[in-house]
A and B are shown apart, each in its own frame.
Chain A
Amino acid sequence: GESVGLHLPTLSVQEGDNSIINCAYSNSASDYFIWYKQESGKGPQFIIDIRSNMDKRQGQRVTVLLNKTVKHLSLQIAATQPGDSAVYFCAEKTRGSQGNLIFGKGTKLSVKP
């Protein structure tokens, strides 16, 4: 059920700065990871993905880093813009699963103009 008073971690950055959002995962059997952006009242929007045989992948203004040793995933957003303000979730897929994703807790990114 709903947890009263639960707040998402918040990252506040200045427009134009770089943002780094972190995520820890627990299942060493996970072989595919995705970052999603979710705006208020909307479904998750795919940003970038990475497979476990890689440690870095770059997209347009975004980079995902994977450290399997410590089970850590990060999303770097270059030159953060006000439109980047949203909640960001990492998600993992376990090898051999049907494809269902396990989502992390989420981080709220606020961009100050």
Chain B
Amino acid sequence: GAVVSQHPSWVICKSGTSVKIECRSLDFQATTMFWYRQFPKQSLMLMATSNEGSKATYEQGVEKDKFLINHASLTLSTLTVTSAHPEDSSFYICSALGTLDTEAFFGQGTRLTVV
């Protein structure tokens, strides 16, 4: 199957700093990527839908100025958590929609810890 790579797999940052997470589709082009957030023992919650070359669509309750999404190419989407706080500590997962627009391929996730 198609491969989606996330980087970094984990990151620890100080409160108030910004962190960028990358999501790459390695062997296919993804016009649409999705960003999810998962707290411990909970399900994945969709944060935003990222379309190449256009602005991301954010889910209700997700601050677009805090979670900056850039999808500048067909193989890369980035999520930047700006002015991170401890409550932003979570597992962030991206997925990319395949060319058949059916199956979504997931990255391995990024564990963010804000101290």
Q: A6 with B46: in contact, given A41-B111, A45-B106, A98-B32 (CB under 8 Å)? A: no
Chain B interface residue bracket vs A = 20 to 34
Min CB distance, A41 to chain B, in Å?
7
Chain A residue with the shortest CB-CB distance to B57 = A98
For the complex of A and B, the 10 pairs showing the least CB-CB separation, nearest first, are A43-B106, A2-B39, A43-B109, A99-B97, A103-B44, A103-B43, A43-B108, A44-B106, A43-B93, A106-B43
Q: A42 with B109: in contact, given A49-B103, A99-B32, A100-B49 (CB under 8 Å)? A: yes
In the complex, what distance in Å separates the CA atom of A41 from the CA atom of B2?
20
Are B43 and A44 in contact (CB-based, < 8 A)? no
Q: DSSP class of A's interface residues: helix, strand, loop or mixed? A: loop
Chain B residue with the shortest CB-CB distance to A105 = B43
* Sample (19) of A-B pairs whose CB atoms are under 8 Å apart: A2-B39, A2-B42, A2-B87, A34-B104, A43-B95, A43-B109, A46-B105, A89-B43, A89-B44, A98-B49, A98-B57, A99-B32, A101-B46, A101-B104, A102-B46, A103-B43, A103-B44, A106-B42, A106-B43
Footprint of A on B, CB under 8 Å?
1, 6, 32, 34, 36, 39-46, 49, 51, 57, 87, 90-91, 93, 95, 97, 101-109, 111
Taking CB atoms and an 8 Å cut-off, the chain A residues in 11-70 that contact chain B are: 32, 34, 36, 41-46, 49
Are A6 and B43 in contact (CB-based, < 8 A)? no
In the complex, what distance in Å separates the CA atom of A103 from the CA atom of B59?
14
Q: Beyond the given A1-B87, A103-B43, could you list 9 further A-B residue pairs with CB under 8 A, ordered by the A residue number?
A: A2-B40, A2-B87, A7-B41, A45-B106, A98-B32, A99-B34, A101-B34, A101-B104, A103-B45
Q: A6 with B44: in contact, given A1-B87, A43-B107, A100-B49 (CB under 8 Å)? A: no
